[in-house]
């Protein structure tokens, strides 16, 4: 069936509309949503079912809403049903339908603020369950009731406004909401002020909730905070109401000038002190404490030409604190009369009245005390040349007593003189030297010597002044420059190498030192023919060859002069070795004896040294032979003659056994007479010997040829490892005694050769430049 969702007739819908919108009427309206009007020509849809309105909070339940019918079957042959929110969807059970009559009922109270409309689907089936009509929509609109009071967004609204604000000044806005339908009067809100005190200084816009000033006269010093009671009502002001408060704070402006509490203040202070407080100046200000409109600033208008006083503000009390910043002198002024003024940090409002006591007089009386002496020039600077003799006057470091009305006598003494160089006259302060000051004194800082002098009066209690005496020690040019190095080498080819770099030093301080002047000695004019000197910087010069000269040592004479006034100069020798150089400009090792001469050793002296060495070797040779023969004969008799164990008497530090405290390690006779012990029984097996070890083997026969010595050693190691009677297997091993007459020669250099003729030292040339000197002395020419 293709019947659309239609009304039975337009006239029927028009007649049902008013009744459906009034929930209280009991007559049930019947709808024919599937009815089609038969007209000639084409089929035209009827009107769509209009929404069914029902009021929220309806209490008489169940309440019939509407009855729907289908004209396809007679009454009782059609089964009706509805689906959707409020039926089989949340919230369930709100609506129901009589399946045989098609009556729709409201079963629960509705709340428009939760759900303002329900869209259901209606179905018509025959008794067999077959669809008679296409499903149609059924919309139920919840009609609003004024069941919600308006609610302010805040319990208290905060506002701030400057005191003295003109009428109409915006302060703050009050806002409220209403959960009812905004399209109805149920949510039409109106604002008002219930209470604000007298006079009426504020108003509120009934539609927007804006709070503004309406009169002049807002004065923070009179009333600082206003509390207003606000009301909002729905139904355009005639319905439900709610209240809130508005707290309006007046912001301070500088409309009150500060003023002193009295016209004149009296204070006292002692002389010769600074940084002390003299007294306090009290002021009053009605503006907000702690604000710039309240904070006071003080100015000394007159009476302090030298700036000896200052006034600061106490941030807690707003009082002015008068203090002394420069010491006062009773002898110069006994009393100060100051005129001071006060004002705020923030500028005063133009319309504000001036303070009656914006200025005050302050009288400060100075109290006389004993003052310390004063040095007229402190520190006192003077200068002396270095090395002055004892008794040389330095300066007169005198002081004056500012207490002119008191007759006092001054005395002088030293407080700091680390070198004990100065002497001070106790009565006059005259300073002179008492010994010679060393220029190397650690107390000379950049040429200045510092001493501290004291001046003390004889008052009770006495006062002392401290003065600094700085003496500049003037440098005197009393030292000539010296060469840093007295020897060097240059290449024999003039164009080879970089020459010889010469440097100079001077014990004098600037300006009596560098720049230095280097010059070949004028006494030897022929030096300039082969040598040249060129200045590199203020302290170095470079020596070069002009022409090729013979290789070897050359003794030059240089003249060095400093830049002092008057200049000091000195002629100094310079030993220069001319050598054959390689491509890198360095002397080659082949310079031999010629370069050795540069060190001051001549060929004749070298021959004498070699002859002395050979003579000593010849004299020592017989002595060594006699000592060796005696030692061999004594050892044989000693070994054969002694039968007892000598371990308690002789310590063999070259043996590898357990040491002198090892009494169970081995018998030393095994090393002396191994062949005589062959027939004797071996000592008991050690207790720590491994159980897997066998009995010790018989003594081995010494090798007859040196070529078999390697096999002999390997066999000995194996025997020692398997022998439980010898020293412990986990310690160093003791090898067998090798007997007399070793085929190897002695290691003594004296007995190895009768002279140096058979020694070949040519290998020294391959050992580098460090062995060049030995190669020159002992190597082949």
Question: What pLDDT, on the 0 to 100 scale, is given for residue 17?
Answer: 38
Q: What confidence score (pLDDT) does residue 3 get?
A: 30
Q: Residue 702: its pLDDT value, please?
A: 61
CB 28 within 8 A of CB 67: yes
CA angle, corner 642, sides to 636 and 648, nearest 5? 115
Task: Say how far apart CA 662 and CA 723 lie, in whole Å.
Answer: 18
Question: In the prediction, which pLDDT does 637 show?
Answer: 45
Non-local CB neighbours of 346 within 8 Å, separated by 6+ positions: 254, 291, 292, 293
- Determine the Cα–Cα distance for residues 53 and 18; give it in Å rounded to an integer: 10
2 burial (CB, 10 Å; 0-12 / 13-18 / 19+) is exposed
CA dist 78 and 353 (Å) reads: 96
Q: Which residue has the tokens 């020293």?
A: 727
- Residue 189 CB-half CA count within 13 A: 27
Query: What token pair was written down for 19?
Result: 């009744």
Phi, psi for residue 722 in degrees, rounded to 5: -100, 0
192 CB contacts (<8 Å, ≥6 apart)? 204, 206, 230, 231, 232, 233, 237
d(CA 169, CA 160) in angstroms, rounded, equals 11
A 10 A CB-CB count for 383 gives 13
pLDDT of residue 34: 57
Which tokens in the block code for residue 736?
């067998």
| Cis peptide bond upstream of 515, omega within 30 | yes
As averages over each run of 10 residues, the pLDDT of the chain (781 residues) reads 31 34 47 52 48 82 84 80 87 86 86 85 85 85 84 93 91 91 86 87 92 90 91 89 93 90 94 92 92 93 94 95 93 92 89 83 91 88 88 90 80 93 92 86 89 90 91 83 89 85 85 86 88 90 89 90 86 91 81 43 60 79 68 47 43 48 50 48 47 50 60 70 57 53 50 53 73 74 61
Alpha-carbon distances, residue 780 vs 440, 641, 692, 758 (angstroms): 54, 53, 64, 12
548-582: b (≥16 Cβ within 10 Å) or e: ebebbbbebebbbbbbbeeebeeebebbbbbbbbe
Burial of 777 (0-12, 13-18, 19+ CB in 10 A): middle
- Euclidean distance between CA atoms 484 and 598, whole angstroms: 18
Preceding amide of 199 cis, omega within 30: yes
- State whether residue 671 is helix, strand or coil: helix
Distance CA 535, CA 524 (A): 20
The pairing of beta strand 225-233 with beta strand 190-195: antiparallel
Kindly report the number of other CB atoms within 10 A of residue 690's CB atom: 9
CA 72, 73, 76: angle at the middle one, nearest 5? Answer: 145
* pLDDT for 626: 66
Nearest to 764 by CA among 551, 599, 590: 590
Look at residues 200, 214, 211 and name the one whose alpha carbon lies nearest to residue 167. Answer: 214
Q: How many beta carbons lie within 10 A of that of residue 213, not counting itself?
A: 20
Strand locations in 546-653 (E): 552-561, 569-579
For residue 200, give both structure tokens.
């009426």
Q: In terms of Cα–Cα distance, which of 445, 442, 429, 440 is closest to 394?
A: 429
Q: How far apart are CA 700 and CA 679, in angstroms?
A: 13
C-beta of residue 459 within 8 angstroms of C-beta of residue 408: yes
| pLDDT score at 248 | 92
For residue 615, the SS3 value is helix
pLDDT in the model for residue 632 = 55
In terms of Cα–Cα distance, which of 544, 546, 535, 545 is closest to 504? 535
Cα–Cα distance measured from residue 108 to residue 197, given in angstroms and rounded to the nearest whole number: 49
- d(CA 242, CA 177) in angstroms, rounded, equals 10
Residue with tokens 């070797």: 617
Structural contact between residues 499 and 531, judged by C-beta atoms closer than 8 angstroms: no
What pLDDT is recorded for position 697?
53
Exposed/middle/buried for residue 779 (C-beta within 10 Å: 0-12, 13-18, 19+)? middle
Q: Which two tokens stand for residue 115?
A: 């759900």
CA angle in degrees (0–180, nearest 5) for 762-768-774: 50
**Nearest CA-CA partner of 49 in 63, 68, 62, 65:** 68
Backbone angles phi, psi at 777, to 5 degrees: -80, -40
pLDDT computed for residue 496 by the predictor: 82
Non-local (6+) Cβ contacts of 632 within 8 A are 740
Distances, alpha carbon 222 to alpha carbons 245, 248, 259, 349, 716, in Å: 21, 14, 19, 17, 122
Maximum alpha-carbon separation in the chain: 166
Report how many helices (DSSP H) and strands (DSSP E) the chain contains, helices first.
8, 43
Residues 6+ apart with CB under 8 A from 429: 396, 397, 398, 399, 410, 412, 453, 455
Bridge partners of 555?
575
d(CA 349, CA 343): 12
Token pair for residue 634? 């004594």
Beta strands in 285-349 (DSSP E): 296-302, 309-313, 320-324, 335-344
Cβ atoms of residues 450 and 407 within 8 Å: no
Asked whether 359 and 393 are in contact (CB, 8 A), the reply is no
Q: Which domains does the chain have, with CATH numbers?
A: 52-143 (2.60.40.60), 151-251 (2.60.40.60), 259-367 (2.60.40.60), 374-474 (2.60.40.60), 482-579 (2.60.40.60)
pLDDT at site 1: 30
Closest-CA residue to 558 (of 580, 582, 575, 537)? 575
Q: Kindly give, in sequence order, each residue whose CB lies less than 8 Å from that of residue 691, ignoring residues fewer than 6 positions away.
A: none
Residue 515 CB contacts under 8 Å (≥ 6 apart), including other chains:
537, 538, 539, 563
Strand locations in 713-755, DSSP E? Answer: none
């Amino acid at each position: 069936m293709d019947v659309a969702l239609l009304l039975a007739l337009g006239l029927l819908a028009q007649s049902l509309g008013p009744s459906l919108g009034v929930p209280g009427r009991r007559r049930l309206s019947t709808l024919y949503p599937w009815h089609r009007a038969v007209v000639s020509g084409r089929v035209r849809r009827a009107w769509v079912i209009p929404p069914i309105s029902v009021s929220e909070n309806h209490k008489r339940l169940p309440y019939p809403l509407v009855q729907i019918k289908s004209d396809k079957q007679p009454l009782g042959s059609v089964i009706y049903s509805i689906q959707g929110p409020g039926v089989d969807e949340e919230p369930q059970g709100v609506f129901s339908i009589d399946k045989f009559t098609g009556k729709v009922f409201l079963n629960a109270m509705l709340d428009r603020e939760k759900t303002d409309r329900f869209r259901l689907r209606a179905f018509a089936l025959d008794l067999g369950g077959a669809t008679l009509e296409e499903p149609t929509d059924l919309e139920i609109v919840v009609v609003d009731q004024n069941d919600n009071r308006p609610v302010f967004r805040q319990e208290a609204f905060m506002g701030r406004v400057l005191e003295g604000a003109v009428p109409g000044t915006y302060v703050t806005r009050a806002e409220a909401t209403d959960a009812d339908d905004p399209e109805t009067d149920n949510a039409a809100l109106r604002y008002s002020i219930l209470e604000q005190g007298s006079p009426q200084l504020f108003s509120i816009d009934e539609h927007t909730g804006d709070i503004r000033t309406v009169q002049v006269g807002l004065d923070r010093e009179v009333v600082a905070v206003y509390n207003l009671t606000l009301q909002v009502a729905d139904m355009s002001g005639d319905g439900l109401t709610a209240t809130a408060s508005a707290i309006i704070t007046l912001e301070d402006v500088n409309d009150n000038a500060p003023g002193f509490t009295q016209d004149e203040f009296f204070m006292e202070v002692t002389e010769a002190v600074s940084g002390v407080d003299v007294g306090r100046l009290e002021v009053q200000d009605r503006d907000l404490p702690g604000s710039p409109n309240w904070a006071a600033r003080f100015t000394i208008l007159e009476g302090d030409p030298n700036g000896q006083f200052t006034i600061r503000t106490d941030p807690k009390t707003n009082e002015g604190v008068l203090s002394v910043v420069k010491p006062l002198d009773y002898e110069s002024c006994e009393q100060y009369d100051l005129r001071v003024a006060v004002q705020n940090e923030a500028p005063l409002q133009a319309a504000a009245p001036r303070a009656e006591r914006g200025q005050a007089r302050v009288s400060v009386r100075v109290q006389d005390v004993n003052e310390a002496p004063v040095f007229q020039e402190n520190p006192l600077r003077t200068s002396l040349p270095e090395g002055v003799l004892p008794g040389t006057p330095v300066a007169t470091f005198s002081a004056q007593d500012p207490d002119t009305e008191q007759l006092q006598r001054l005395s002088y003494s030293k407080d700091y003189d680390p070198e004990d160089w100065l002497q001070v006259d106790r009565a006059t302060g005259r300073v002179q030297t008492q010994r010679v000051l060393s220029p190397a004194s650690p107390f000379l800082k950049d040429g200045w010597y510092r001493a501290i002098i004291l001046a003390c009066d004889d008052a009770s209690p006495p006062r002392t002044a401290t003065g600094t005496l700085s003496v500049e020690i003037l440098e005197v040019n009393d030292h000539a420059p010296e060469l840093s190095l007295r020897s060097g080498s240059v290449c024999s080819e003039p164009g080879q190498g970089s020459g010889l770099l010469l440097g100079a030093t001077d014990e004098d301080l600037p300006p009596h030192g560098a720049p230095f002047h280097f010059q070949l000695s004028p006494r030897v004019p022929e030096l300039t023919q082969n040598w040249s000197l060129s200045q590199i910087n203020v302290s170095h010069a470079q020596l070069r060859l002009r022409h090729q000269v013979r290789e070897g040592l050359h003794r030059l004479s240089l003249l060095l002069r400093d830049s002092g006034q008057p200049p000091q100069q000195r002629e100094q020798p310079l030993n220069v070795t001319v050598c054959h150089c390689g491509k890198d400009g360095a002397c080659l090792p082949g310079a031999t004896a010629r370069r050795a001469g540069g060190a001051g050793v001549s060929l004749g002296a070298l021959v004498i040294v070699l002859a002395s060495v050979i003579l000593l070797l010849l004299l020592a040779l017989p002595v060594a032979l006699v000592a060796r023969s005696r030692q061999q004969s004594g050892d044989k008799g000693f070994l054969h003659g002694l039968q007892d164990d000598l371990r308690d008497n002789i310590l063999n530090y070259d043996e590898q056994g357990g040491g002198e405290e090892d009494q169970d390690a081995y018998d030393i006779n095994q090393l002396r007479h191994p062949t005589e012990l062959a027939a004797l029984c071996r000592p008991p097996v050690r207790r720590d010997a491994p159980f897997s070890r066998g009995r010790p083997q018989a003594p081995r026969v010494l090798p007859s040829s040196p070529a078999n010595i390697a096999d002999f050693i390997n066999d000995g190691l194996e025997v020692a490892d398997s022998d439980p009677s010898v020293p412990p297997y986990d310690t160093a091993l003791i090898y067998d005694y090798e007997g007399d007459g070793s085929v190897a020669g002695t290691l003594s250099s004296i007995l190895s050769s009768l002279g140096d003729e058979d020694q070949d030292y040519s290998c020294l040339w391959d050992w580098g430049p460090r062995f060049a000197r030995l190669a020159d002395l002992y190597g082949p020419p």
